[in-house]
Structure 1
Amino acid sequence: MRDELFWAATPPAGPGAPLPDPRDLAEQAVAKMGLRAPEIGIVPEPGEGNVGVVGMPTWMWVEDADSRTLGPITRQASASGHTVTANAKVSKLQWEMGEGTTVTCTGPGTAYADSYGKQDSPDCGHRYNEQGEYTVTVNATWTITWSGLGQSGRIPMTLERSTTITMGEVQVLN
């Protein structure tokens, strides 16, 4: 048998182009979401001259609650005619209070208003027992699921942001 070379207008039948990696497409879809750590809303407010009182309620909340800080959000990524869909939402917010306590909140919290006075936050609060300066960190744990090309999976993600508050004591003299 003799090998012959010839020219053809169309390529010969054979294996098609390789399929894109669905995990890579999922990561591209997540990148399109623009997820970010939530802005911290907290009373007492951070900043020079702002001091909370030991034993009084501290309220925490997500200042910029939207789909990019809490979800839900969905995005897709495609390659070679194949698409992967990713869905993301925050499953919990953990607040590290700076003195060893962690407060877990399932929602964005309630923004404090002066009319609440010295009430505890209905859904995301804490009380400090000692004066000092505390670094408060919120950790937003995302649940991200994806599916496409006959596969599915999860992508773990935690985003965090910190601020510093000051707690002082009140002395009363009779």
Structure 2
Amino acid sequence: MRTATPARLLAPIAAVTVALCGGGIAHADAPTGKETRPPGPAGGADDKALSASVSRIRVTQVSGPTGGKRGSISSTDVNWTPPPCWYEPVLTPEQLKALAETNSLGYVSPHTSWGGEKLWTDHYRDGKDAYNYKDGSLTPVEGYDNYNIGKDGYFWRGVAPDMADPESYDCERVMFWQNAGEVPAVPNAPTPETLAEYAYDKVEVPDTEIELRPEGKSTVNLPTWVWLDKGTFQEVKVRAELPNTNLWAETTAKPVALHLEPGTEDAETFPAGGDCEINEDGSIGTPYVKGDADRTPPCGITYLRATSGGPYKLSASVTWQITWEGAGGTGGDLPDGTFETTQDMNVQEIQSINR
């Protein structure tokens, strides 16, 4: 993780002079973790169009359960994070004109907002330069003629879901033009993998509601059988598409293993280590049947000491294997994800078996 460089005011030189005289305001957020936003728009563009932290990527669930309790997975790779920022098409020429001349409040990059009509009209209507700040220097950016009205394309701007992330400053180019059907050839331009990684955080998997026998109360030195029915867990597939581009990706989460933590050191897990692999039919473990009480379960726990003062917290976490495929025949793997739930387990000394 790099250290953030303080943001600079990215405004046309002439507009800065006007701003100092009260004709406009260019606001650059400092990388303090606190975000300051201009007021909502009065017209011409909606809040989503003006927000630099809200992506326009459309996410839909293609397959997998949609009802019941669900939650987001956590990456098993503690060093992996989704991309901190990327660029997206934001406004048509007509939308930019409406913003500039009727509202004139909005972000030109994730951390820099312009307020005041002249800041916008100087650069996007009257052709005056603006400036990108990078690596300690300012680079002039040529202005536009009448918002490029009559041309087919979009103005693109950086998006940073976590504005406090220092790496979100890597997308600080002033909002720029790109012809329709094209993706800009700039660092941090979106790719199918960008969308796949964005969709990773949108995957919701069902609660890990394991079946137990006996249910909720076990007996010292007798095994508790644990299993998941094959119909309980299914692959979850999420599709992400970036409007006004041909970019898309589908991220798939597939359950591959169940891990058990008994909630106490006075217990044995089966298999040793508590990792129950998924069976070929999609189930995990084997359901308990009458007469199995004295057998060792393929997936289960034997508690060696009774509970006292409160139940043990049995933790069950499912590992989900994550893959993706996207536009242009792209695809690959992403870090596995896990989803964990806990439930109370009371353990008694009486060695009686319900058959």
TM-score (norm 1): 0.72
**Higher normalized helix content (fraction of residues):** 2
CA distance in 1, matches of 2:351, 2:203: 50
CA distance in 1, matches of 2:337, 2:316: 14
Please give the per-residue CA displacement for 1:88-122, whole angstroms capped at 9, x wherever unaligned.
Answer: 11222110011235411002222324x23414354
Contact map agreement 1:135 1:165 (CA 8 A) in 2: yes
Kindly state the Cα deviation for residue 33 of structure 1 after the two structures are TM-superposed. 4.7
State how 1:1-174 maps to structure 2 within 5 Å.
Answer: 9-11=150-152, 16-18=182-184, 20-27=190-197, 29-30=199-200, 33-46=203-216, 51-62=217-228, 65-66=231-232, 70-79=233-242, 80-100=245-265, 102-107=273-278, 108-113=284-289, 115-120=290-295, 122-132=297-307, 133-149=311-327, 150=330, 152-170=332-350
Structure 1 unaligned spans of 5+? none
The structure-2 alpha-carbon separation of the partners of 1:9 and 1:167, relative to structure 1 and needing over 3 Å to count, comes to closer
Contact map agreement 2:223 2:297 (CA 8 A) in 1: no
The structure-2 alpha-carbon separation of the partners of 1:81 and 1:171, relative to structure 1 and needing over 3 Å to count, comes to closer
CA RMSD of aligned residues (A): 3.4
- Amino acid in the other structure paired with 1:105: C
The structure-2 alpha-carbon separation of the partners of 1:124 and 1:134, relative to structure 1 and needing over 3 Å to count, comes to same
Q: Secondary structure at the match of 1:35?
A: strand
**Higher normalized strand content (fraction of residues):** 1
CA distance in 2, matches of 1:55, 1:144: 38
CA distance in 2, matches of 1:28, 1:136: 32
CA distance in 1, matches of 2:218, 2:152: 75
Query: Identity rate of aligned residues, in percent?
Result: 26
Contact map agreement 1:110 1:121 (CA 8 A) in 2: no
The structure-2 alpha-carbon separation of the partners of 1:159 and 1:8, relative to structure 1 and needing over 3 Å to count, comes to closer
Kindly state the Cα deviation for residue 9 of structure 1 after the two structures are TM-superposed. 4.5
Kindly state the Cα deviation for residue 75 of structure 1 after the two structures are TM-superposed. 3.1
Contact map agreement 1:38 1:64 (CA 8 A) in 2: no
